[in-house]
Amino acid sequence: MTVTHLGGATGSISICILLFALASGELRIVALQSLSSLAISHIPVQISKKLYPRKRPYMVLPDTITISRLLKDHSFPSGHTTATFSVITPIVLWNPPLALALLPISLSVAISRMYLGMHYPTDVIGGIIIGVGTGLLLYSFSIPF
């Protein structure tokens, strides 16, 4: 599996469900926050894609490196980037040292989206803002540990 797929629906949902199923105690609550953040974060993503119908870089720029399964929806914001940051934010807020492992993975997903010609840098920045914002919101409604 390439790193970009970690931010896709199958990857991000599977990771959250697996974490929820295997976790207990505080981590199980955090896993549920991550799963909820993932689901809720895609509401503003879909609204933004309708409001800002920007074509993807591979559609506009000739000779762009792409993957074989090209997405046809709009570019802004990056859903993969939103997904990965919405999932890791509650986890990192719960246990900050985990940022050392999770942040590089999420940044790799974000960079891969640009490298593959699927998004512009501003699409990725928008995804980070939406993902982190949703994760912060869900974590702030946490049950006291």
pLDDT(141) > 90:
no
CA distance 22 to 33: 15
Q: What is the percent of the chain where pLDDT is above 70?
A: 93
Distance in angstroms (rounded) separating the CA atoms of residues 105 and 101: 7
**Does 68 score more than 70 pLDDT?**
no
Instruction: Collect all residues with Cβ–Cβ distance below 8 Å to 36 and sequence separation of at least 6.
Output: 138
Residue 1 has a pLDDT of 45
Picking from 29, 42, 25, 136, the residue whose alpha carbon sits closest to that of residue 80 is 42
- Residue 85 CA to residue 135 CA, distance in Å, equals 8
Q: Is residue 107 scored above 50 in pLDDT?
A: yes
Give the C-alpha separation, 83 to 64, whole Å.
24
Q: Is the model's pLDDT at 20 over the cut of 60?
A: yes
More confident residue, 43 or 10: 43
For the chain, give the mean pLDDT. 90
48 contacts 126 by C-beta, under 8 angstroms: yes
What's the predicted TM-score (pTM) here?
0.90
Q: Is the pLDDT reported for residue 119 higher than 80? A: yes
Four-point Cα dihedral 122, 88, 136, 123, nearest 10: 10
Give the pair of three-digit tokens for residue 95.
């246990």
